[in-house]
Amino acid sequence: MGKLDNQTISIIGNGDVGSGIGASLIKLNQNIIVKGFDKHKEISLTALKSNSITKLTNNYEECVKDSDIIIVATPTSSIYEIFESIKEYLSKTVVIIDTSDTKRAVNQWAEEILPDIGIIGINPFKKNQSFENIFWGIVSYDNSNSNTYAVASKLIDDLSGQAINVDIMEHDSFSGLVETMPIILSTALMNLSNDSKSWKEIYRFIGNRFNKFTDALDNEPINSFSSILTNSDMLLEWVRIYISELLKLEKMLEKNSENDIADYIQKNWENKLKIMNNIDPNTSQSATDYIPSASENILSLFVGSRAARFFTKTKPAVETDKYGFKKRV
């Protein structure tokens, strides 16, 4: 049984995040009511059919009335209008939780429109299809209190998640880098490519690498616009830092500095491997010290990971250069 059993929960916004949370809560809490509302009714209908909500509602009043918890899972730019639309129908004890990826604007609007209502922010930093067993940032607002924090913690516990307390300024900075900067960089690359005089020929060469880099543009434009508009100052700082990084690389290319370019690629290849394998990026050891080779991975299926590492590491060492390539005789 979950910690939110016998609760009435409203979810405004029945897209991926709202539906993911709703489905997990329904699975864990037998006597829970999850009401859903989305401006696009077909999205709510899909959520109902997929058992992500238990009741479809047709307007804000019907959705939030008599609810214990309201989860707002919409783009940040929609939240001002939502607060204005629901303020007349809220009980004094209701707790509002938003899942937006920028929090300072929400805090300001909450204080302005709903000063007497408990509100707190959460954000699923590492998303998967079920929204279970992931890291959730908890961001306290001026309207937050011990009760709102307790309710948010219970929600995350029900999702088998790990809660991380994040300062509101840090949250918007971190989210700007990991959530929104990929959208900005993808947009810039797409624009650069499309504006090229050779684009009619270039597009024929597009493959997986280009498509993966621009995957962030698969996000709905309204979500991207909302993330940028409500966090422009943080993003401006990250853009400036990114430009300085490109200028470093530009100098390496101008000098055709083989060692510098190789070191730069090697370092960031290792950093990426650490992220993929949940290795603390602050560790001083090389990612390759932790990450099993292909032969270890295959062998571990038969004899276990420790034995696999033993068998592969006891083979005669192959002399390699500083980049891990086999030295030529």
Domains and CATH numbers, the chain: 8-166 (3.40.50.720), 170-240 (1.10.3660.10)
Rg (CA), the chain: 24
Task: Please state, in angstroms and rounded to a whole number, the distance separating the CA atoms of residues 38 and 63.
Answer: 10
Q: Is 271 helix (H, G, I), strand (E, B) or coil?
A: helix
Whether the CB-CB separation of 143 and 152 falls below 8 Å is answered with: no
How far CA 160 is from CA of 134, 153, 156, 277, 306, in Å, comes to 7, 10, 6, 20, 29
pLDDT at 279 over 90: no
Residue 118 is inside which H or E element, if any?
strand 118-124
Higher pLDDT, 130 or 94: 94
Higher pLDDT, 219 or 39: 39
Q: What is the pLDDT of residue 255?
A: 93
Write out the DSSP string of 24-91: HHHHH-TT-EEEEE-SSHHHHHHHHHTTS-SEE-SSHHHHHTT-SEEEE-S-GGGHHHHHHHHGGG--
pLDDT at 228 over 60: yes
Q: What is the pLDDT of residue 275?
A: 80
**What percent of the chain has pLDDT above 90?**
61
Task: Please tell me the least confidently modeled range out of 103-107, 146-150, 252-256, 289-293.
Answer: 289-293
Q: What is the pLDDT of residue 293?
A: 53
Q: Which residues contact 228 (CB under 8 A, 6 or more apart)?
A: 180, 183, 184, 235
Q: What is the pLDDT of residue 329?
A: 40
CA 116 from chain centre, in angstroms, equals: 30
